[in-house]
Amino acid sequence: MKLYICEKPSQAKVIAKHVGATRANQHSIVGSNVTVTWCIGHMLEQAPPEFYQPELKTWNIDFLPVVPTQWQMQIKSKTQEQYRAVATLLKSASEVVISTDADREGEVIAREVMQLSNYRGPVSRLWIGALDDVSVKRVLADVRHGSKTLSLYFSGLGRSRADWLVGMNLTMALTKAYGTGGKGSVLHCGRVQTPVLALIVRRERAIQTFVPKTFYVINVAFEMMGTLVTVNWMPAAGVLDKDGHVVDRSVLELLAKKIKDRVGRVTDVQATPEREPIPLLYSLGSLQRDASRIHGIKAQAVLDACQVLYEKHKVTTYPRTDCEYVPVSMFADVPQILSALSSISSSIKPLVIATKLEKMSRAFNDKKITAHHAIIPTSNPDFRLADLSAIELKVYELIRTRYLAQFLGDFEFTKTVLRLVCENESFTQTGKTPTFIGWKRAYEGAMADVREDAEDSAMIMLPAVKIGDQAINRKADVASKKTKPPKRYTEGTLLGAMEFIDKEIDDLRLKKIMQNKEKTGIGTDATRSSIIEGLFKREYIIAEKRNLLPTQRGAQLIELIEKIEPSLADPVLTAIWEDKLAQIEAGTLTLEAYESELGQWLRDLIGRIKAKAGTMQVAARASGNANGTSKAQPTGAGRSNTANQAGGAVFPCSACKKPLRLRTSARGPFWGCSGYPDCKESRPDDNGKPGVKPAY
């Protein structure tokens, strides 16, 4: 009997009708010498620490770390019945076709059941990218050998075991060494969760300790050929400070007086044809970022909507992908997909009619395909927009619009750079005149807010001037401005930071290491939303409108971890571990070597935690108040206290009066001036506050 193992019943029903399985029972769908069954997500889970070390039932730090040499899996209580059914079917199977989701988690879901059931027969892999009939028929005709995806299973095991090793060991160690023992006093530590929380906490510190600086700008406009054109002053060298600002108002006041109502001349006009390529298709991460930016939809809600569109309605392809490209072979499917889109929504028929299929966009590229292709619509026409929830509809429209844009051509325009001189002062402006709207047509009307380039909504149209034409100054106003603190993360910008972690790293050496790795970040497209949700559920962060803020509980946990072992909050470490999982998937690193290295790192780290246990008073604040309740109020949003400030106090620098920040060095924590490098004042740390500077 050939046995197809799916991830969930909805997948099984789709595959069953294509392989001749028609007789359904509680646990499978049966046909002639073929059976389709399903898991219910992960039916197995890692055995708890006390399975390996009974003394850990009460979280005894003396018996940490636990690093299993033989990993043990247990059947989840809620899935025991379905597991037994699948295990029984495996005993009589002559071949297994893994038909779970086409990713490393899907690979683990099927193979962990096969492993525990001691299945040793032939294995094939059905690599499903969409659940519409056309797509399922195509992949059934091209089943892969099981060995092709075995490394994906090892990578998934590595991820699961690393999360268990770090999460279980360090959560127990930190809680026993520094927790208060009260209700809600668990100090959670995770391989990915902790560095993500650190990003939010450190951003909030930067905001709360930010000291604004006043600078000045001049707003200038010249009349040319009857049109008033704003222009930008081009200052001489030495006028601007290191941040590119004018800090001496008198400089601009003299300039305004100098050019007021004076006549200048156009000295240069450069007009060049340019084009803006069609934006790539959506990966899950880029879709979540756009949905957050445009509609304010939470990352997990986007994934949930994508899953419904993929599984229930079968109108979009597999969602958990990090790829923004599709294979060249899928260009042949375009007419059928466009036809389906028209039948689903008559309002987009004019847009479909405008598409041109003479040339493929850059999104069709075989060399860029990873485990999955980008998220695109399917050719399934049997679907009604009215059946979607509000969020599902918005997500679907984003996917559909991005796909349609691929066949409307590049946006073409003439870029004009104008330069003029007035009273020996130079000014410039750049204009953009559209010559072919191209893909931007897909984003007109109701989809206008989805445009990639928001600045184009204020596109500057320049008059048709030529060299020597006069320009009369009509405006020269000086205004003061203040520098602004960094923006708080939204879910969308946090997802971007997690994916492109090198942008969040200040250390130039580590930044270069990350930039040299291909798309190494924190977590994966498939897991990042659940990581953020976990921080919400544990009351480490909250959302104010779209902004993410750390709670006092979250900020103080990071403060504690920075004092004990700063590397735990370092996104570089997590990114390096994620890169090693990618090496396992690529077959260049063994699972055994990965676990050995991680185990030794844990032994060393927990040894240091034991040595420092009980030495820091911050623990009570990190785990809760004296009554053991968690502190879920935000640290920012108008409040002055952050994890850098003990008890809400701000400690001013004795040299320049700017706030001191708690920092970490190889020698331990210290307080440094937030005005560094202009001010290099520092103080030793004295139990969470600046100490007395040594006399020597």
Please state, in angstroms and rounded to a whole number, the distance separating the CA atoms of residues 338 and 196: 40
Quote the distance between the C-alpha of residue 249 and its chain's center.
41
Q: How many CB atoms lie within 10 A of CB 303?
A: 24
CA-closest candidate to residue 326, choices 130, 519, 153, 143: 130
Q: H helices within 272-368, ranges in order?
A: 284-295, 299-311, 334-344, 349-354
Helices 571-586/508-515 angle, 10° precision: 20
State residue 530 phi and psi, 5-degree precision. Answer: -70, -30
Q: Is 318 considered catalytic here?
A: yes
Alpha-carbon distance of 122 to 95, in angstroms, equals: 5
Question: Residue 634 pairs with which residues in a beta bridge?
Answer: 551
Catalytic residue among 318, 396, 403, 540: 318
- Give kind and range of the element (H or E) at residue 22: strand 21-24
Helix (H), strand (E) at residue 214:
strand 214-224
Cα distances (angstroms) measured from residue 341 to each of 328, 334, 359, 510? 20, 10, 20, 46
Q: 619 near 180, Cβ under 8 Å?
A: yes
State the DSSP code for 7. S
Instruction: Read off the tokens for 611.
Output: 């040595």
Helical H segments across 191-320, by residue range: 193-208, 249-259, 284-295, 299-311
Q: Which residues contact 464 (CB under 8 A, 6 or more apart)?
A: 225
What span, in angstroms and rounded, lies between the C-alpha atoms of 412 and 51?
Answer: 65
Alpha carbons 237 and 234: distance in angstroms, whole number: 9
Query: How many whole angstroms separate alpha carbon 203 and alpha carbon 549?
Result: 9
Tokens in use for 522? Answer: 């924190």
- Amino acid at site 263: V
Helix (H/G/I), strand (E/B), else coil: 439: helix
Contact 317, 127 (CB under 8 A): no
- The rounded distance, in Å, linking the Cα atoms of 419 and 467 is 9
> Within a 10 A sphere around the Cβ of 27, how many other Cβ atoms?
18
Neighbouring CB atoms inside 10 A of 313's CB total: 20
Other C-beta atoms within 10 Å of 596: how many?
12
* Contact between residue 27 and residue 85 where contact means Cβ atoms under 8 Å apart: yes
- Residue 595 is encoded by which pair of tokens? 């676990």
Helix axes 193-208, 528-537, angle to 10 degrees: 70
**Paired residues of 547 in beta bridges:** 490, 544
3-state secondary structure at position 640: coil
Catalytic residues: 318
